[in-house]
A and B are shown apart, each in its own frame.
Chain A
Amino acid sequence: MEILQIRNLSFSYPNINGFTRALTDVNININEGEFVVVCGESGSGKSTLLKLLKPEISPAGKTEGEVWFAGEKLTSENSLSIGYMGQDYELSIVTDRVYQELAFGPENLNLDSGSIRRRISEISSYFGMDEWLNSPTDKLSGGQKQILSLASVLTMRPRVILLDEPMGSLDPVSADRLMGMLRRLNSELGITVVMVEHALEFCLSYASRLIVLKNGRVFYDGEPANAIGTVKNERIFEAFPAVAKLVDRFGIEGWDGQFTVLSAKKYLEGKPHRDVLRETSDEASGEEVLKAKDIYYAYERKSPFIVRGASISLNAGETLAVLGGNGSGKSTFIKTLCGINKPQRGRVSAQGSVAYLPQDTKLAFLKDSVRADYESYVEYMGLDSAVIADISRKLGIEELLDRHPYDLSGGQRALAAMGKMFMSNAKIMLFDEPTQGLDMGMKKVIADIFKRLKEEGRCILFVTHDTVFAQMASDKAYMFFDGGITEPEKTHRFFRENNYYTTPARLIAGDVDAVSVDEIIKAYS
């Protein structure tokens, strides 16, 4: 039974000069019970399409064509059975307490207390929320907020759930868990799932259908496995899981059509391979620029130490990655290095200034336009204003200069923030999750920027849970664990020696010495 029919849908955003086309002639029919993933580069219109499926939050603009839901034209009257989960879980929570949040939707439906109680207890049991049902919402961990966000949509008993880039703010463990929950909802309860996402390595293996948008049009619509032929030359292909790239290179024979690590391993089984000569770049590292010794840090006087005796030494011309589980304290640690958190014990000494870019790049901008922000920064640092034009050209962000930082996409804003980092003369640069929510193409751009900064003699340290990016962008890697930090290891060795916390490519490669997809391809060529 077709639950969503998108018929000849076109949409344009209004702007100063008229209209900007976002979607053109989109025709999609979704059956009840499908698990649909919609992807595309930024600007492809995927978010807009999703929002048009929920009239309450549809953007204002010129719409042509129609959307039909369960046999009727979709309006705000009959859209209650469509649930929507936005990107930012923090912001979607509107009440004080967990149970109040769960009750919010049913209250809007004017249900009586008894019915509301039934729905809450149901959902709470289903997701195991009983323990923290009465907690204040601001005391929840990130993972709990994600669960709550989903649960409070489910108390409305939707038939369809729309998700807008749900992986964007999640670490791998939480991302996995969310996908597991969605899969349960889809297979056990028959809820139709439509999610827009570019972190395809997490979700493609669950999808029954893949839709790729390009420039506002449907570029591909069908089974995920069959997409490779069509998209292999597009930028979006970068985001595909490792196995897709292997199949693209070595042919479809032997592939079971799944996107999991296991199916990649099976695919490679029996194929001939050889050892790859690794280019050992043993460049002599520069002089020491930052030293932290025996750092102890706790948030408050009586609370337990988050950082317990961590020491680190950074040299010029190095790019270093710090990995660690969610909540391990790696972000807290990096904040002690730049002076945000003052350690209770231990010393940090830096030979040169330190620049820090937080996870939320919006925090890096204070003005209404990128240009204004750059100008104020240049004035503050006493630099020559010509450097603005210079940097914008180098990073290719000239057309972003006059836009408001919050209006930019995550990737564009990350680039703009990098511009500021370039302009500063800080020798030591600290980044907290620089690739959070970015697509693969963007990650490559950032890795390239790091390389350029390194060539200028700076030292870069970034905290991340993105193993693929860490492998791409760093020379050495540390693991933050149990309040302390491990000895640094050369990146490829780090990922090769780890058995679980490593890149997907490493998991696939097994005995073969490869930590990235490129290395696997080289080995099997």
Chain B
Amino acid sequence: MNRKYAFFDMHPVVSLIYFLCVIVSGMFFRNIVLELISLISAFVYITTIFDRGRVIKTALFCGAVIVLMALTNPLFSHNGVTPLFYMNSMAVTLESVYYGVSSGIMLSAVLVWCAVFSDGFDFEKISYIFGRAFGNISVVISVALRLIKLIRVRSRDLAMVDSANGRTRLKDMLNRFSAIMGWSFEQGIELSHSMKARGYGRGRRSFYNRFRFGASDAAVLTAVVILSGATIWMYAVGDFGFAIYPKVWINITDRTYLGFILYSVLVLIPTAVEIRDSILWKYYRSGI
């Protein structure tokens, strides 16, 4: 049983809203501290769910993004009070490098969050969200996806057999393609038989609701809404004042510290859920 992605075992609405808040706030909160908080906790989270190789690859990728933006932003933006040198009479400034770094961090954070989301929020949950409203469509889509998978496997098998018998030219590929087309029509009919035999097409369909909205779902959702709301409001009233152009400036009040803490809690929720889950799991297993 897959014990990772415990955060996604919660009701889909919870994870959907959570990621929406984190990703959107990540894009709009242009404050270096908030951006760093977002990126660092994204990484903390992926160390709990990805294997080491993937974490390292992601880190390298983000590093590359940041370096790339740090180097290219000065070519396009010449704002900033600290010139390093001049290119064609326009200044390449230290602030534009900072801005590049900041954009890189923001972009990396958003990309990592998006990657995690697309990994864990699979079709099952998407179809849950939409299935309740568009029950029939989600069946069609899920059958279509299944058919696509079958066709892919089939093409691969066919190519395998052909190559074993020495047929690897382009013409063979075209032959295979038309054979697969014919085959897939057959499969479509078989699938439809299987569906009709179980009563599909009789009119109204219900939708099996697997996810129950429990107490912990409510708790997490409340936390997400409150923390997001609070930080958004604080951002709007200027508690997170920060600017890079033309001179680096940051406004830190007591409320700003509070804001940082609130945001950190928000972005660390999935990590907390994963850790709690693995602790509980170890506890149960040791008791057997």
Which residues of A does B touch, CB under 8 Å? Answer: 54, 56-57, 80, 83-84, 86, 88, 90-97, 99-100, 103-113, 116-117, 120, 131, 134, 137-138, 152-153, 156, 335, 338-340, 353-356, 358, 360, 362-368, 376, 380, 406, 424
Give Cα A92–Cα B201 distance, bound, in whole angstroms. Answer: 16
Q: Using C-beta atoms within 8 Å of the partner chain, give the interface range for chain B.
A: 35 or more
Query: With A57-B193, A94-B143, A366-B176 in contact, is A406–B183 under 8 Å at CB?
Result: yes
B164 touches A339 (CB 8 A): yes
Residue of A nearest to B166 (CB): A353
26 chain-A/chain-B pairs, Cβ below 8 angstroms: A84-B197, A86-B190, A86-B197, A88-B190, A92-B191, A95-B142, A96-B123, A96-B145, A103-B208, A104-B200, A106-B208, A107-B206, A109-B199, A109-B202, A110-B204, A113-B207, A116-B206, A340-B160, A353-B166, A354-B164, A356-B161, A358-B157, A362-B183, A364-B161, A380-B167, A406-B186
Name the contact of A54 in the complex, choosing from B182, B187, B197 (C-beta under 8 A): B197
Give Cα A368–Cα B175 distance, bound, in whole angstroms. Answer: 11
B205 touches A110 (CB 8 A): yes
B164 touches A94 (CB 8 A): no
A266: min CB distance to chain B, Å: 42
Check B285 for interface membership: any CB of A closer than 8 A. Answer: no
B175 touches A366 (CB 8 A): yes
A94 touches B210 (CB 8 A): no
Complex A-B, nearest 5 residue pairs according to Cβ-Cβ distance, in ascending order? A108-B199, A103-B208, A92-B194, A356-B164, A56-B196
Give Cα A376–Cα B179 distance, bound, in whole angstroms. Answer: 13
Give Cα A88–Cα B154 distance, bound, in whole angstroms. Answer: 14
A334: min CB distance to chain B, Å: 10
With A156-B198, A340-B164 known, 9 other A-B pairs at CB within 8 A are A54-B197, A94-B139, A94-B142, A94-B194, A95-B146, A100-B142, A108-B202, A108-B205, A156-B199
Name the contact of B190 in the complex, choosing from A91, A112, A366 (C-beta under 8 A): A91
CB contact list, B132-150 vs A, under 8 A: 135, 139, 142-143, 145-146, 149-150
A291: min CB distance to chain B, Å: 18
B163 touches A340 (CB 8 A): yes
- B146 — which chain A residues lie within 8 A by C-beta? 93-96, 137-138
Name the contact of A91 in the complex, choosing from B127, B135, B187 (C-beta under 8 A): B187
Check B203 for interface membership: any CB of A closer than 8 A. Answer: yes
Query: With A93-B146, A367-B179 in contact, is A116–B208 under 8 Å at CB?
Result: yes
B198 touches A153 (CB 8 A): yes
- A116 — which chain B residues lie within 8 A by C-beta? 206, 208
Chain B interface, DSSP helix/strand/loop, else mixed:
helix
CB contact list, B200-253 vs A, under 8 A: 200-210
B164 touches A335 (CB 8 A): yes
- A103 — which chain B residues lie within 8 A by C-beta? 208, 210
B198 touches A99 (CB 8 A): no
Q: Which of B160, B163, B197, B201 has the most CB of A within 10 A?
A: B197
Give Cα A340–Cα B143 distance, bound, in whole angstroms. Answer: 30
B241: min CB distance to chain A, Å: 47
Give Cα A88–Cα B1 distance, bound, in whole angstroms. Answer: 27
Give Cα A293–Cα B149 distance, bound, in whole angstroms. Answer: 35
B217: min CB distance to chain A, Å: 16
Give Cα A80–Cα B200 distance, bound, in whole angstroms. Answer: 10
Q: Which of B127, B149, B178, B190 has the most CB of A within 10 A?
A: B190
Give Cα A352–Cα B194 distance, bound, in whole angstroms. Answer: 45
Give Cα A99–Cα B164 distance, bound, in whole angstroms. Answer: 38
Residue of B nearest to A111 (CB): B206
A117 touches B199 (CB 8 A): no
Give Cα A362–Cα B182 distance, bound, in whole angstroms. Answer: 11
